[in-house]
Chain A
Amino acid sequence: MISRIRKLVKDFSLGELRGGMRITAKELFNKKITVQFPEERIPISSRFRGLHALRRYPNGEERCIACKLCEAACPANAITIESKIREDGSRRTTQYDIDLFKCIFCGFCEEACPVDAIVETQIFDYVFLDSRKGSIMTKDRLLEVGDNNEREIDKAKEQDAKYR
């Protein structure tokens, strides 16, 4: 009986409505948690798999030896490699293309690589301007990404080194 009366009072004084409105009114003044993206960024794991890069040795020599293990490992067939023997007798790639439309960012290429040449960086906010051609990361572009982000890549790999 008492509980029925209490329910009646609550219903007619719009109890549920008031409870809900109180919560939203409280949240109105709470701190906002939006990250203002281009200016603010959330921390990214060192294992984040973003845009690809080809690395170089400290002396400037490119690491990739055209073993084609990454091409074989790639589940999406996104990697195309052509190679040739250079004048000094070492085998190097003449073509190293990653089609970003095909790539699923699984990171298998990075795991397959015996010389840590191909890596996935923490860059995720890139854009293709010329859509079909722009989606293909050529060797030059991959090396450029590697050169420009050398320090970030080294740091990420160093953090992750003891777990590999």
Chain B
Amino acid sequence: MTEIWQWIHELLPWFDGIVASIAIILIKAIALVMPLMLVVAYFTYAERKIIGYMQLRIGPNRVGPKGWLQPIADALKLMTKEIIFPSKANIYLFLLAPVLAIAPAITIWAVIPFDEGIYVANLDISLLYVLAIGSVGVYGIILAGWASNSKYPLLGALRSASLMVSYEIVIGFALITVVMIAGSVNLNDIVMAQKGGLLNWYFIPLFPMMIIFLISALVETNRAPFDVVEGESEIVGGTHVEYSGMAFAVFFLAEYANMIFMAVLAVILFFGGWHSPFEGISYLEAGFAWVPGIIWLLAKSSFFMFLYLWVRATLPRFRYDQIMRLSWKVFLPWTIVWIFVVALMTQFKIGPWF
């Protein structure tokens, strides 16, 4: 790294101080966001293809070989479409809403450690950062619902807001158990604490919390079977009703970026982040030593991304009050009980995790 620095310094002597640091921040951000947007685009393709296959259909296969250019065509279509403003909507808020949706969805990625030492920012409180930024995301949806000056979006926004509030408590409690075991709120430290093979990953002591986290993540990202925000049969398209063209596409990007983020977060918290699953098994560890950690992270999180699609293809939409019951009467008591269990486990040092 220092040699590269020296080389850059000799080549461009003015590249120093504040200019350099801003440039590096920009490069980091672009290196994060560009692949993210590409993954989002192809995640939509994967979604259509996988759900299609589960419904005995083929899915998109016309644009490009096997339909690989479909996301590009969709993006072009959305970019060239007209954005229609409802006549009595508040245009500033109407346009602010998608920005408020996408900004946290991208910002939240800053603290994700992709590999040992590969991250945009190494915050000491990165898990708190994730919780804080994650809860800002709901503002986009509420604002979209309110600014549209239309009934369906408003109803969708209200549903979304109340769900987010309920499930953030559950997610918060579930994450507390992780913090209790890892002894840190830094995502880097949490991943480092899971070093040393499959048995050291937190999904074993925190199995119920993992299930609860995965289900709550579905609610947080407004995904089926908890997508009451959209609820086609009841409120048409929910908050998206009045949005068209790129404004809608931005909401779409935010939703999928959040989904991918939740999958990655699940891997980081419960499945050892960038660590190889073969650590501690002598031959396999040596055999797979060449695989970089980021590949493991992405491979593991792609399973959870697949799980999202799988669940969407399987389950019908929950009724609103059932989701609420699930949150307050099932998940919340369970998390509290498991916090107690984890407290006992940490106190008496049971298992290899503490």
Residues of A within 8 A of B (CB): 14, 17, 20-21, 23-25, 27-28, 30-34, 36
- Asked if B58 and A14 make an inter-chain contact with CB atoms under 8 angstroms apart, the answer reads no
**Contacting pair B56 A32 (CB below 8 A):** yes
Is residue B211 contacting chain A, with contact meaning CB distance below 8 A? Answer: yes
Is B314 among interface residues, defined by CB-CB distance under 8 A? yes
Q: Is the CB of A27 within 8 A of B55?
A: yes
> What residues on B are CB-neighbors of A28 within 8 Å?
50, 53-54
Interface string of B35-72 (1 = CB under 8 A from A): 00000000000000010011111100000000000000
A40-B184 Cα distance, complex, nearest whole Å = 60
Contact A32 B314 (CB under 8 A): no
Bound form: Cα–Cα A36–B311 in Å: 27
Per-residue interface assignment for chain B, residues 114 to 136, with 1 indicating a CB less than 8 Å from any chain A CB and 0 otherwise: 00000000000000000000000
Complex-state Cα separation, A23 to B56, whole angstroms: 12
Known contacts A25-B310, A28-B50, A28-B53; is-contact A20 B315 (Cβ 8 Å): yes
Chain B residues with CB under 8 Å of chain A are: 50, 53-58, 211, 310-311, 313-315
B329 to A: closest C-beta gap in Å: 13
Closest to A21 in B: B314
* A34 / chain B contacts, CB cutoff of 8 Å: 56-58
A21 touches B311 (CB 8 A): yes
With a CB–CB cut-off of 8 A, which chain B residues contact A27? 53-56
Shortest beta-carbon contacts, A-B, top 5: A24-B314, A34-B58, A20-B314, A24-B54, A24-B313
Q: How distant is the Cα of A34 from the Cα of B211 in the complex, in angstroms?
A: 35
Question: Do A32 and B53 touch (CB < 8 A)?
Answer: yes
Q: Which residues of B contact A33 (CB under 8 A)?
A: 56
